[in-house]
Chain A
Amino acid sequence: DADVTQTPRNRITKTGKRIMLECSQTKGHDRMYWYRQDPGLGLRLIYYSFDVKDINKGEISDGYSVSRQAQAKFSLSLESAIPNQTALYFCATSDPPGGADTQYFGPGTRLTVL
């Protein structure tokens, strides 16, 4: 089984709808991240969490919110989806051993907002 899973894998929705993307991990990592990927822009950080009680905004948090329900679960919500939120969304985890960090990515959720 995959260490980092995302649901759904694909979603088509309409402008104004509330959407939740879910991420679960079995790696036991404290740190979790949400990114979006757009052609020509690479990955941009939306939110990150270093533990259940720690949530931080990333580069492009406007229009998004997150919930860290447990160490293993980190959800991303779009309160009122708009077309320019159409993108590929990735969840990632990491567990720095005090030195260099490595991220482990989920398979991605392709979201289309009509």
Chain B
Amino acid sequence: GDSVTQMEGPVTLSEEAFLTINCTYTATGYPSLFWYVQYPGEGLQLLLKATKADDKGSNKGFEATYRKETTSFHLEKGSVQVSDSAVYFCALFTGNQFYFGTGTSLTVIP
């Protein structure tokens, strides 16, 4: 069945470090891919998305590229800030349902 696998956390980085959170997926057809972010005490918010192979989603310095050949959608940021501390979820949409990864907790220390 359709599913998303993302790297387990927690991840702790120093401010200005490079961030990568890995995400791979299994899906029939051509899903859309998403990264959502959840700040403490809040619901999930869309961070970025990509709808087809080779698309790059970007927002707030974060980027992810839809790689069909490796079924991946890894999240990257060149220089993280303390305010980026949150839980990040990779997700895919197949046309009817969303499938979410288990979430990766990121803590950025000054």
Contacts and interface: CB of A to CB of B under 8 A. Distances in A.
Interface of A: 4, 33, 35, 40-45, 48, 56, 58, 90, 92, 99-108
B42 interface: yes
B44 A102 contact: no
Contacts of B89: 42-43
A33 B98 contact: yes
Contacts of B51: 99-100
B102 A107 contact: no
Contacts of A102: 34, 46, 49
Contacts of B41: 107
Interface of B: 32, 34, 36, 41-46, 49, 51, 89, 93, 96-98, 100-103
A48 B96 CA distance: 9
A105 B93 contact: no
Contacts of B43: 4, 90, 92, 105-108
A33 B98 CA distance: 10
Given A90-B43, A90-B44, A107-B42, A101 B102 contact: no
A45 B32 contact: no
Contact of B98 (A40, A103, A106): A103
Given A43-B89, A90-B44, A100 B101 contact: no
23 contacts: A33-B98, A40-B102, A42-B103, A45-B98, A48-B96, A48-B97, A58-B97, A90-B43, A90-B44, A92-B43, A92-B44, A100-B32, A100-B93, A101-B32, A101-B98, A102-B49, A104-B46, A105-B43, A106-B43, A107-B42, A107-B43, A108-B42, A108-B43
B101 A42 contact: yes
Nearest to A105: B43
Nearest to A31: B96
A102 to B, nearest CB: 5
